[in-house]
Amino acid sequence: MTGPRTGPAYDPAALARRARAELRPEHYDFIAGGAGEETALRENEDAFARLALLPRVLRGPGTGPGTGTRVGVLGREWPAPLFVSPTAFHRLAHPDGELATARAAAATGTPLVTGMAATTAVADVVAAARARDPEAVVWFQLYLQPEHEVTAELVRRAERAGCSALVVTVDSPVFGSRTRDLRNGFYDLPPGLAAENMRDLPGAAPGGTRDIAMWPAGWDDLRRLRDLTDLPLVLKGVLHPADARTAVEQGVDALLVSNHGGRQLDAAPAAVEALPSVAEAVAGRVPVLVDGGVRRGTDIALALSLGAVAAGVGRPVLWALATGGEDGVAELLSALRADFAQVLALCGGHRPGDLTADQVVARGFPYHRPRGERAW
């Protein structure tokens, strides 16, 4: 056999182990930990491991690994169905923090969702990305705040920075119980670090920051947000199909199926388990994205087969940042793209849309099912 071999250039478990050796224990636990007994955290990865892909064969010449992976999302073409999910406090992992992440994402053509709880202000994140690629896609993740004027100012900052969508996280009426943080007594950022997007907001002391409030927002609050901005709204944290249908009726532009990385409700299902029902409820009216437990190209392929248009990666970005800075993140994202391209070709696909739900089966069970019955 001759020819180049493609595939992941990293071992996600080994990457996490190396990051653990680099980081202070309480900082590693903040990034790695989940809520309660961390069942939802584990299930995000385990649920992918319980699924298998049935390849299709003899589909003729295609584009081959490394090409043919482009997808369209909210009016933009992405090089691959992969994005960087919002995660907090990147400067806990590396001094350059979100700046390094933004540069690496832009250099690899990977859309970035920068977090409201970032240790770098959104304007600086977008500037760093656009310095690498003037067309870089950066979205801003937002928690609706109890004071409407605070939400409005955050939206204006995202607009002025040049973000092209708002990702509204709606699964956090209260903070989840983060067992590791409670054990470590990790409640505040180290001196010199702050949630920079919360600086100088209405009601804050001069030059100071505000806490990020978690509160039970309602659909009326979402409508008020819709009136504030023309940016597309991506609703993050939707797991119930009834909520997905309501979101579409309310004019949301896309959905992001997520259980918050297992950091909120420990009894929540894995994101990939909730994905098919949400995609079915939406019925193609808006794009559906997913994050949680994505570690390999096979995970991206499974997510697309079950109804997503793209999958987000979170914790591995922070592991790569901790161990290799900007270069480490770029290597990770490039490896995931190459791995997905190979998996797509091995599944008989020429483009991401070729992956279908009938190619997903549960491991350990016969995969021949009556016509129309789900195998997952």
- What is the domain count for the chain? 1
Let me know if 94 is a catalytic residue.
no
**Active-site annotation holder among 27, 260, 350, 368:** 260
Q: From start to end of the chain, where are the E strands? A: 51-53, 71-73, 76-78, 82-84, 112-114, 138-142, 166-169, 233-236, 254-257, 288-291, 310-313, 360-362
Question: Is 348 contained in some domain?
Answer: no
User: Higher confidence at residue 114 or residue 370?
Assistant: 114
Q: What is the pLDDT of residues 305-345, one digit of tens each?
A: 999 999 999 999 999 999 999 999 999 999 999 999 999 99
pLDDT tens string 64-96: 444 599 999 999 999 999 999 999 999 999 999
Give the structural domain span for 302.
12-58+70-339
pLDDT value of position 4: 45
pLDDT score, position 205: 76
What angle in degrees, to the nearest 10, is found between the helix axes of 122-132 and 97-107?
30
The amino acid at residue 187 is Y
64 located within any domain: no
- Do residues 245 and 255 touch, judged by C-beta distance below 8 A? no
What is the separation, in whole angstroms, between the first and last Cα of the chain?
35
Identify the three-state secondary structure at position 145. coil
Position 84 scores a pLDDT of 99
The confidence score (pLDDT) of residue 143 equals 98
pLDDT above 90 coverage of the chain, percent:
90
Residue 364 within a domain: no
Tell me the one-letter amino acid at 223: R
Helices (H), 23-69: 25-32, 39-49
Residue 369, domain member (yes or no)? no
Burial level of 200, CB count in 10 A (0-12/13-18/19+)? middle
Which CATH number fits the domain that encloses residue 238? 3.20.20.70
pLDDT number for residue 367: 55
For residue 2, being part of any structural domain is answered with no
The answer to the question of residue 6 being in a domain is no
Give the burial class of 237: count Cβ atoms within 10 A of its Cβ; 0-12 exposed, 13-18 middle, 19 or more buried: buried
* pLDDT, greater one: 157 or 369: 157
* The one-letter amino acid at 196: E
Amino acid 364: pLDDT: 80
pLDDT of residue 62: 64
For the chain, what's the residue count?
Answer: 376
- Give the span between the Cα atoms of 187 and 89, in whole angstroms: 13
Q: Assess whether pLDDT exceeds 50 at residue 285.
A: yes
